[in-house]
Amino acid sequence: MRIDIITCLPKLLEGPFSDSILKRAQDKQLVSIVIHDLRDYSTNKHKALDDYAFGGGAGMVMMVEPIDRCISHLKGLHNYDEVIYMSPDGELLTQSIANQLSLHQNLIILCGHYKGVDERVREHLITREISIGDYVLSGGELAAAVLSDSIVRLIPGVLSDESSALTDSFQDGLVAPPVYTRPATYKNWNVPDVLLSGHESNIEQWRYEKAVERTKIRRPGLFESDL
């Protein structure tokens, strides 16, 4: 898989992709994550990327031209399955969306900034808009990192235990059940006996029941969405 991320602040993305699972995935050549500095595509002598909004109002708007130049350049090199804009009013990122995107080969992710992008970018260049929550960040860079992480970890070979991703929260419409590790007793806090029993079917039943119980308490909307 190849993920091209377009940003006006590339240094914000250095950390998330230089360690842990995302780094290992790149080292294994299972994914290529390429950061593009949008200022490289500006024809303005000051490399400006934003301007005042027509009609007035607070905040600056990212201009259409450099974004179009960057996306057009990338499309001349590769075929892309999606051109994604990280936006507060996009569709809310879910595990299902991450699963879908993990099956693609090439993605572009555009990070907004300032007051957002010229609407013509959204009308003519973007194929999908995604939000990571009902709140506003200073820019789309952190959201792009979140989206990338949710996708890359699902690519076969990225996780040392591929079954791990299949038992994550939301894969089966439930949050994950409680998990424990050694020691079995700590300060008289004990691991449930069933997990120490070695009885696989009883353990799986316990985990399912706890997942249902936890989902009803913490995320009841997951049940309502299935109705």
Q: Is the pLDDT of residue 169 over 80?
A: no
Give the mean model confidence (pLDDT) for residues 7-27. 94
Domains of the chain by range and CATH? 2-152 (3.40.1280.10), 167-224 (1.10.1270.20)
**Is pTM beyond 0.75 here?**
yes
Give the mean model confidence (pLDDT) for residues 182-200. 96
Dihedral, 82, 87, 92, 96 alpha carbons, nearest 10: 20
Give the mean model confidence (pLDDT) for residues 173-180. 90
Q: Which two tokens stand for residue 137?
A: 């960040």
How far apart CA 25 and CA 18 sit, in angstroms, is 10
Per residue in 52-90, pLDDT (tens digit) is 999 998 899 999 999 999 999 999 999 999 999 999 999
Write 25-28 long-range contacts (CB < 8 A, 24+). 25/152, 25/153, 25/155, 25/158, 28/157, 28/158
Per residue in 80-131, pLDDT (tens digit) is 999 999 999 999 999 999 999 999 999 999 999 988 999 999 999 999 999 9
